[in-house]
Structure 1
Amino acid sequence: MMNMKAYIALIIGALSISTSAIFVKFTDAPSSVIAFYRLFFAVVFMTPLFAVRHVKETKLMNKKDWAFAVLSGALLAFHFILWFESLRYTSVASSVVLVTLQPIFAFVGGFFFFKEKITMSEWVSALLAILGSVVISWGDFRVSGEALYGDMLALIACAMVTGYWLVGQHLRKQFSLIAYTYIVYGIASIVLGGYVALFRYSFFSYDRDDWLYFILLAVIPTLFGHSLFNWAMKWVNAAMVSMAILLEPIGAIILAYIWLDEKVYLSQAIGSFFIIVGIGAYMFGKHVKRIKKNSCV
């Protein structure tokens, strides 16, 4: 029953992070500034609850826990930095295709670091979902000498966010959602703030609409998106989270159609079908494996 709730949380989380691209498109602020305020405001909103109910959990954290928290926060921050920077050199489609390799990174990382076994059916399900994402982006995909640097940045960003989920699943199983996300988001916002200051971007010269979208980014794709993924990680692994994130392009297509009047093309519909089938097959396989495991106990 709890795993079913975790799957529902992953679906809602994926739909929530789908709003990210829309809100980013509505603001003209530098990408690193957007990322900084996205996490900074999330931390601000969480502070009262953390201070009242969860600050005592930090006393239970040892040096290893803090090291994992710092690493997780830094990986999340550099994912944003490298992901946004990649878009300066390569197409959005190319970058999206590369970032959708998250499940493969998660499968490999889970196998080597956590001894998680991946069945052939799970590999096929993941590759089917990745194929769907490639189909969605294929019309604008490009790989050229000029874009190669951006493609490499996107690939590293993909590895960074997968590392964030892999490291995070260790801590999330030990500490509450609020304590874990508050600390990790806080560390990530400090890293991003340092990046903004280093490159001398303004922290304040933005209009009212920009501030509104900063706040919306903190609330919807971060507190309802990333935080729901982190909540679910107590019952599912990083590979399952990475698979669920592949639903983001579908949500973004629907929202772009509603809010930006963008057309929905046949390739997008076909790609979305592959993603849904791939993720559905993966979840079903996990459910069957769990039933067999419990029946043997």
Structure 2
Amino acid sequence: MEERGQESEAPPRWLPFVVLGIGLLAISFGAILARLAQGYGLPSLTIATLRLGLAALIITPIALWQSGHVLRALSRRQGLLTCGAGFFLALHFATWITSLEYTSVASSTALVTTNLLWVGIASFLLFGEKPSAVMVLGIVISLSGSLLIFWSDSQSSVAGSDPLLGNFLAIVGSWCFSAYLLIGRRLRANLPLPAYVWLAYGSASLFLLVACQLSGSPLGGHAGAAYLIALGMALGPQLLGHTAYNWSLKHVSATFIAVVTLGEPVGSAALAWIFFAEAFALVQGIGFVLLLFGIYLAARGEGR
């Protein structure tokens, strides 16, 4: 009872925005680490499985210690909804990480973060949530920045082996992440964070494990460095990044979290420039500025 009482206390108004900023920085490393793992020969499904599976294993003691009584009292409806969230999370990582094999980091991350459009539409149609005019303006500007990044990358000769397929997979990943956010927001209203994270990550990793078995993607027999990179993905982008998003679901709207994820292309592109010496095009730079400005406007709209 004490745990639920503590979590129900409203945090300072600025705290969710700081937590989301830290989560965004951690998640921005996701595409970089996935590309490095692919370079060591890890199949995309294996990368997704290890990322979520290791994250679930790491958080298991915390979940059982802090939320064991909640997990034992889980209702059938909560269990089914959590499995649904895990299913869409598994599809999100399977499609998005695979997209990195066929298209550029800039295009993949820009398209996969268009989930704010789908979340905003679904929140309005399903839950009657009407975003403020300032947030709508932020969404429009942010989407404009994403489109500029995508257009700039489509003009490049190094977009990838099959940009059309890669871009489509990234969009599918965006749809799946939107469903994951919407289901998660409902579940987080009654589930403590450790319980929800453990259930969502664990169920997603089980779905991916089945997919690996069916597709023949091996989990073993790879270089040690590849598994270290997978562990880094579990600790950084997954546990720190996505858990920050999950914590924030109880304090800000799913639409605003979707807007924040639009900063991922900016962070990923900056990290790609640092680690891979990938240069910025002028149009890309304009798109990044629009993305950041749109996120700022959306934050003001959320604050109101």
Provide TM-score, normalisation by structure 2. 0.87
5+ residue gaps, structure 1 = 289-297
Q: State how 1:65-214 maps to structure 2 within 5 Å.
A: 65-87=78-100, 92-141=105-154, 148=164, 150-214=166-230
Tell me the alpha carbon deviations over residues 170-193 of structure 1, each in whole angstroms, 9 at most, x when there is no partner.
Answer: 111211111100010000000001
1:287 and 2:303 equivalent? yes
User: Does structure 2 conserve the Cα–Cα contact (< 8 Å) formed by 1:72 and 1:163?
Assistant: yes
1:47 and 1:124 map into 2 onto residues whose CA distance is: 41
Please name the residue that 2:237 is paired with: 221
Which stretch shifts more, 248-257 or 17-26?
248-257
Which stretch shifts more, 2-11 or 182-191?
2-11
Q: State how 1:203-282 maps to structure 2 within 5 Å.
A: 203-282=219-298
Please name the residue that 1:3 is paired with: 13
User: Does structure 1 conserve the Cα–Cα contact (< 8 Å) formed by 2:113 and 2:264?
Assistant: no
Tell me the CA shift for residue 267 of structure 1: 2.7
1:252 and 1:163 map into 2 onto residues whose CA distance is: 23
2:164 and 2:277 map into 1 onto residues whose CA distance is: 31
Identical-residue share of aligned pairs (%): 31
Tell me the alpha carbon deviations over residues 116-174 of structure 1, each in whole angstroms, 9 at most, x when there is no partner.
Answer: 1123332221110121122233222279xx76555443322211100000000011121
Matched to 1:254, the amino acid is: A
Tell me the alpha carbon deviations over residues 189-241 of structure 1, each in whole angstroms, 9 at most, x when there is no partner.
Answer: 00001001111111111111101101000000001100000011110121111
1:153 and 1:265 map into 2 onto residues whose CA distance is: 24
Q: Secondary structure at the match of 1:239?
A: helix
Q: Secondary structure at the match of 2:123?
A: helix
Provide TM-score, normalisation by structure 1. 0.89
1:110 and 1:29 map into 2 onto residues whose CA distance is: 37
1:147 and 1:274 map into 2 onto residues whose CA distance is: 24
User: Does structure 1 conserve the Cα–Cα contact (< 8 Å) formed by 2:132 and 2:301?
Assistant: no
Please name the residue that 1:42 is paired with: 55
Matched to 1:277, the amino acid is: F
User: Does structure 2 conserve the Cα–Cα contact (< 8 Å) formed by 1:13 and 1:224?
Assistant: yes
Q: RMSD of aligned C-alpha atoms?
A: 2.0
User: Does structure 1 conserve the Cα–Cα contact (< 8 Å) formed by 2:252 and 2:302?
Assistant: no
2:255 and 2:115 map into 1 onto residues whose CA distance is: 8
1:64 and 2:77 equivalent? yes
Please name the residue that 2:5 is paired with: none
Which stretch shifts more, 151-160 or 7-16?
151-160
Matched to 2:96, the amino acid is: W
User: Does structure 1 conserve the Cα–Cα contact (< 8 Å) formed by 2:44 and 2:97?
Assistant: yes
User: Does structure 1 conserve the Cα–Cα contact (< 8 Å) formed by 2:31 and 2:105?
Assistant: no
Matched to 2:28, the amino acid is: S
Please name the residue that 1:295 is paired with: none
5+ residue gaps, structure 2 = 1-10
1:19 and 2:29 equivalent? yes
CA separation of 1:123 and 1:75: change in aligned 2, threshold 3 A: same
Which stretch shifts more, 93-102 or 191-200?
93-102
User: Does structure 1 conserve the Cα–Cα contact (< 8 Å) formed by 2:34 and 2:97?
Assistant: no
